[in-house]
Chain A
């Protein structure tokens, strides 16, 4: 029941929130829901055994027996850190928006809660049908979020996001169908259970079928992640979304999750694993470099952050393709770390835009003098993002690069070049926007309010804490990545 409660509480509260009349009620309702999820998650965390890669807290109810569909939940060390990330940031996000004045607050908070429920559902689902339902459910609230509260190009961005990721989901669905029927043929009974289908994958006779299934699923995941060249929805959607929407996008770690949970266990059984590794590694390395270059060229602070997000997501596929437990767990940690860091970065863009009326880096300047609290937090996040030791970003990127070097030297060298560029655009943007002489024409800018300080401050502390002591989440990631690597032992990959 525990996992069901974690998934369903946000969805139920989404409906209740929709029925509220005032901003006051809506935000309190959203806070109650997200804090309850946080408490339940913390309870789950302390009862979780991180020394085993086995699935825990399983729940199983038959749903559509004739098609082998069931309501099947369960978590392991791949999903729990992401659930934790989501559960921690969500209440802080609600606090961050506490004093915002916007139209239709009940719908706004309701959409946030639907997104949370859907994302948590993806992380907990052990049935492909359920997985796909939650996967698609993430689309709708974000589509509305961008379309209703977004920036000037919101309609374009929301439709682009919707179509891009929906098409990717459909391709993924084709892959799921392929897997489902191939297994059905072998075993004689229909089942959409993820563990069952992953176990059956190796018994598909035709190598081409196995490769096609793998690629179809991979396509769905990397568009959602996203990496080059399927990223073009990202800068638009991230930039046009309202601040809360951008943070939700950042917490939408389902693409990377799919890679660890589904792609890696399948990888050794594809007909041409080396080709798959090359594809994943190359896409990752190119994304890291390409995203960094594009970020360097941006004039708009938020767009820069969006491209830096693309660059950082490259580490996820690169690390996954690295296929040693250090690189894989590093890539998992990158997902966790990126969620924390990018939340602050997007929140910073939001408050700066609100305070000064612009996000163009050249028009900003010396904000640190008027916004000292923001400056402290933002500098920390920027440092973490560019990979300064002692902060979460460093651990993730270092593990990925060091681990992947074993198998993928060429790609790692490419990615290493990007580190210089990454440092450059982060520092440059920080220097021009926050430091230097204060531009008087920005008017009387005031610092972030108490709620915002609290929200961003807590995340900043977590970045520092997990940067110094990653083991609370890294241990379970390691357990699971060792398990995955163990599957590949002797496969010649």
Chain B
């Protein structure tokens, strides 16, 4: 019975193993089929997750839970994985390691899904590491590219450190409460709050998860890694892996450590302000689009962090909805960049900075679908109405005002206005600056992934009711302290 609750995860595991096994026997030129296989598996898992919406259950000795929160985040992760795997069909063409690329991504996604379901800190940690280790390897996938290796190395070192800090924090909590179960820790809230160890564990856990979410000042690795890693992997990191950090932090702080609310709320308020401001200001001067998107991703994480400060059902719903929207917008933007990088590299293999903003000049004529999609993504990231980004900001920012944190909303809105400047710069390069390049035929897999992401961004923008409903349901799970 318990197993059936995890049909999506099981589907993913089977898909991953199938890709790996079939890949071993395929010649290099027919490995394309693996991409389709992976995508189909992810679609199946996505379907199973959506079909099971509304289920509430605990499983495996209460170490895992299936509820609105975990299901919502699983949808986020699967959507990102789907976009990733579709777009990768072109990227991995001709590579001898196609199956590894897909398997790592699928296992990273499985890790993220288990983090979303975790009801026990040990399970959470193991799942967290499963996702992390898979993505370390993915970041260094371009073995001959020193930038990619540097990205992987930085990510790996800092990621391991953050994992260690997190484990340390969990150890302290276990020491005080004698349990690793999230509801168990929450039940011993008074004991934690009374002991100095409570504060230490909060600090350690914020640092550990702060690295993953890339909250300033724990963000240093992110721009380098997002820039150096293959663009599609950056999409997976920024859109998927970062959300894993957020859902983990939701569970750890809002459910397990709610007794220390006052302490971590202040910390998150400061982190949110620093992160969004630093991200936006630093993004202004970037010439590498991937780096710009990395900093913009910081800023967006800063907005989502506001949900930790406000802690009303509407704010949590807003933050959770933002996570889904960001999955579509940011994955889409990185995939569009990946398509440009692909084009630049296929024209000239030795180009040094294929993601330099100059390469976006005249993209509106050269790659009309990619350029239009990119326009929609950056406008959505900037929060222009009728996009997912606006809808999420609407719910999140307005809830901040409702809860009496008007100052925080004002800072966020000012930041949002600053961000428009660099987002508009990309649009300007794509449509207004002349290019010598000619129109090229856009690689189909990228285009399909982009169209799917655009559909998601516009669906949430135009028809937000069901998304808001499920995000609010997910938020309620947190405030109720689990199911």
Contact = CB atoms under 8 A, between A and B. Distances in A.
B386 A133 contact: yes
Interface residues of B, number: 28
B413 A67 contact: no
Contact of B420 (A166, A181, A184): A166
A144 B371 CA distance: 14
Interface in B391-418: 394-395, 397-398, 401-402, 406, 409-410, 413-414, 416-417
A492 interface: no
B386 A148 contact: no
Given A137-B385, A166-B420, A177 B465 contact: no
Contacts of B472: 66
Chain B at the A interface: mostly helix, strand, loop or mixed?
Answer: helix
B424 interface: yes
Contact of A140 (B384, B394, B421, B469): B384
Given A163-B421, A166-B420, A174 B413 contact: yes
A353 to B, nearest CB: 21
A188 interface: no
B401 A163 contact: no
A154 B432 CA distance: 10
Contacts of A64: 464-465, 468
A173 B385 CA distance: 12
B321 to A, nearest CB: 11
Interface residues of A, number: 32
A184 B402 contact: yes
Contacts of B431: 144, 147-148
Given A64-B468, A137-B385, A155 B428 contact: yes
A64 B417 CA distance: 25
Given A66-B472, A180-B398, A170 B417 contact: yes
Contacts of B469: 66
Contact of A162 (B397, B414, B420): B420
A293 interface: no
B468 A178 contact: no
A171 B398 CA distance: 12
A87 B395 CA distance: 35
B428 A136 contact: no
Nearest to B314: A67
Contact of A177 (B386, B401, B417): B401
Given A67-B395, A174-B401, A132 B385 contact: yes
Interface in B447-479: 464-465, 468-469, 472
B420 A133 contact: no
Contacts of B417: 163, 166-167, 170
A147 B401 contact: no
Interface in B355-407: 379, 384-386, 394-395, 397-398, 401-402, 406
Contacts of B416: 170
Contacts of B401: 174, 177-178, 181
B382 to A, nearest CB: 8
A213 to B, nearest CB: 11
B413 A173 contact: yes
Which 9 residue pairs across A and B have the least CB separation, nearest first?
Answer: A133-B385, A181-B402, A177-B398, A177-B401, A136-B385, A167-B417, A147-B432, A170-B413, A64-B465
29 contacts: A63-B465, A64-B464, A64-B468, A67-B395, A132-B385, A133-B385, A133-B386, A136-B384, A136-B385, A147-B428, A148-B432, A154-B432, A155-B432, A159-B428, A162-B420, A162-B424, A166-B420, A167-B417, A170-B416, A170-B417, A174-B409, A174-B410, A177-B397, A177-B398, A177-B401, A177-B409, A178-B401, A181-B398, A181-B402
Interface of A: 63-67, 129, 132-133, 136-137, 139-140, 143-144, 147-148, 154-155, 159, 162-163, 166-167, 170-171, 173-174, 177-178, 180-181, 184
Given A64-B464, A177-B401, 17 more contacts: A65-B465, A66-B465, A66-B468, A66-B469, A67-B394, A129-B394, A133-B386, A139-B384, A144-B431, A147-B431, A147-B432, A159-B421, A163-B417, A166-B417, A173-B413, A174-B409, A177-B409
Interface of B: 379, 384-386, 394-395, 397-398, 401-402, 406, 409-410, 413-414, 416-417, 420-421, 424, 428, 431-432, 464-465, 468-469, 472
